[in-house]
């Protein structure tokens, strides 16, 4: 099998059709994953990272239309092919209007299937299994894998990307990964923190200045946009940029040229702009602190980095990575965490996210007198304010309520359909809805 042909996710609750199409697609050299339900397909989006989804329209539970909506929400730009019977062609046409790439009618002809697949793959952003571009990002979280799949796709374009997320989540590292995966990878990646430079100097740092432009300008200065020509400019903490400079940045993005401080001549620049912020820019716009036209220029694609508390399965590998980095600086000083100490690290709140985690690990290594870092050192580093995992019952109740809400969203409050999807008696489902205070009527249209 030649996986370079493309990675396909095939979805159908008819085992016979699923097997037939699988044989045809694998024989044509495609790497294939199959799912017998829409919900299983959603789970595979992050872990398998397909380039194309092929799904039957009529399925029990989450049907092809629901799956289409889920794909568009989680993986914008991922093409979806709908398989439909002749009697449901109007539904398939409606699906294409909602964002499906196209549709095939049953019985599915082999040549038509392969032609549609090849056409979809040519028009979709390529996906690679080469992970060098993301080597600095340590993760095993499905949430992060889904995000990285989006980042990999958008890296192939020249679109502006706004990376959002709390401080310490790794926004600049993600920006660097996007640059390494882009066609601009051989050109410079230049980063600047808009909140760390005084407002009166920021324009000069970005666009440069001419000698004598202001007091202290004793020589010509090349700005970051010129330095990054052909590559990528990363504007960190863009929400801190002063309003007057926002106007000038907008002009640069529109005209693709800069003007140095103290000069009137335009200088063409060819850069891609990535930006990041931990602020709520929508609120900043409402408060008059951020320009709406600049926001839409920067936010062509939004990638949101989840806080560390939402990706706890990444904490152990991140800790191991930090320990390895520290050991490389001091050979012979390799240390490990005692099991109960690692459990506390996994359970902690981490308001400072990955940056705080690495700081704690470095402190623990510096203060530990033995090769094994114990619980007491972690407690001291966390200041006694570490969080705790919820009890089993609390976690079960939270999962159940979230599951019920998802069921109601998918079925638009139809309890009978939800019961079939959940494979539960309708009376039992009503009891669960009442117990967890989920009201089906709130999810009905109109």
Question: Lowest-pLDDT range, 58-67, 81-90, 141-150, 344-353?
Answer: 81-90
Per-residue model confidence (pLDDT) at position 410: 86
Encode pLDDT of 355-401 as tens digits. Answer: 999 999 999 999 888 888 888 899 999 985 444 455 677 677 778 88
What residues contact 137, with CB distance under 8 A and at least 6 apart? Answer: 144, 148, 170, 173, 174, 177
Encode pLDDT of 15-47 as tens digits. Answer: 899 999 999 999 888 999 999 999 899 888 877
Percentage of residues of the chain with pLDDT beyond 70: 92
Q: Could you give the CA distance from residue 320 to residue 297 in angstroms, rounded to a whole number?
A: 39
Cβ–Cβ under 8 Å, residues 180 and 222 = no
Q: Tokens at residue 233, please?
A: 């400019």
Q: Could you give the CA distance from residue 385 to residue 396 in angstroms, rounded to a whole number?
A: 24
Q: Tokens at residue 87, please?
A: 């009697």
Which spans in 99-141 are helix H?
110-123
Cβ–Cβ under 8 Å, residues 175 and 228 = no
Beta bridge partners of 408: none
Q: Could you give the CA distance from residue 62 to residue 68 in angstroms, rounded to a whole number?
A: 10
Residue whose pair of structure tokens reads 């080469």 in the numeric block: 130
What residues contact 147, with CB distance under 8 A and at least 6 apart? Answer: 303, 304, 305, 306
pTM above 0.75, yes or no: no
129 pLDDT above the threshold of 50: no
Cβ–Cβ under 8 Å, residues 385 and 392 = no
Residue whose pair of structure tokens reads 């530990």 in the numeric block: 368
DSSP conformational letter for 160: -
Q: Tokens at residue 183, please?
A: 């066609």
Vertex 62 angle, CA 60 and 68, to 5° = 130
Element containing residue 190 per DSSP (H, E): strand 189-193
Per-residue model confidence (pLDDT) at position 364: 92
């Amino acid at each position: 099998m030649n996986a370079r042909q493309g990675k396909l996710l095939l979805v159908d609750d008819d085992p016979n059709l699923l097997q037939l199409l699988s044989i045809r697609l694998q024989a044509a050299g495609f790497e294939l994953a199959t799912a017998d339900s829409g919900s299983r397909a959603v789970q595979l989006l992050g872990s398998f990272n397909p380039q194309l989804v092929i799904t039957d329209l009529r399925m029990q539970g989450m049907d092809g239309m629901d799956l289409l909506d889920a794909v568009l929400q989680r993986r914008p730009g991922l093409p979806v092919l709908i398989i439909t019977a002749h009697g449901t062609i109007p539904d398939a046409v409606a699906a294409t209007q909602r964002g499906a790439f196209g549709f095939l009618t049953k019985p599915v002809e082999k040549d038509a299937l392969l032609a549609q697949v090849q056409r979809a793959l040519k028009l979709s952003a390529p996906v690679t299994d080469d992970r060098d571009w993301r080597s600095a990002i340590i993760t095993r979280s499905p949430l992060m894998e889904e995000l990285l799949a989006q980042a990999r796709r958008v890296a192939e374009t020249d679109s502006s990307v706004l990376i959002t997320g709390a401080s310490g989540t790794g926004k600049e590292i993600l920006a660097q990964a996007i640059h390494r995966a882009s066609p601009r990878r051989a050109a410079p990646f230049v980063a600047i923190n808009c909140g760390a430079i005084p407002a009166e100097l920021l324009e000069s740092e970005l666009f440069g200045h001419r000698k004598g432009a202001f007091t202290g300008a004793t020589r010509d200065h090349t700005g970051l946009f010129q330095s990054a020509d052909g590559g990528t400019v990363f504007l960190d903490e863009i929400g801190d940029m002063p309003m007057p400079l926002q106007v000038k940045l907008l002009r640069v993005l529109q005209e693709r040229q800069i003007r140095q401080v103290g000069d009137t001549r335009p200088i063409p620049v060819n850069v891609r702009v990535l930006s990041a912020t931990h602020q709520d820019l929508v609120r900043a716009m409402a408060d008059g602190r951020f320009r709406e036209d600049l926001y839409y220029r920067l936010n062509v694609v939004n990638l949101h980095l989840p806080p560390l508390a939402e990706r706890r399965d990444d904490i152990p590998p991140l800790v191991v990575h930090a320990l390895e980095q520290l050991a490389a600086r001091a050979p012979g000083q390799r240390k490990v965490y005692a099991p109960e100490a690692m459990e506390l690290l996994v359970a902690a709140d981490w308001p400072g996210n990955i940056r705080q985690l690495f700081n704690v690990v470095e402190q623990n290594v510096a203060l530990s007198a033995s090769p094994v870092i114990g619980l007491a050192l972690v407690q001291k580093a966390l200041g006694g304010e570490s969080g705790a995992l919820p009890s089993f019952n609390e976690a079960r109740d939270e999962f159940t309520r979230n599951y019920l809400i998802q069921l109601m969203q998918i079925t638009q409050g139809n309890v009978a359909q939800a019961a079939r999807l959940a494979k539960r008696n309708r009376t039992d489902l009503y009891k669960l809805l009442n117990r967890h205070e989920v009201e089906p009527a709130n999810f009905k249209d109109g």
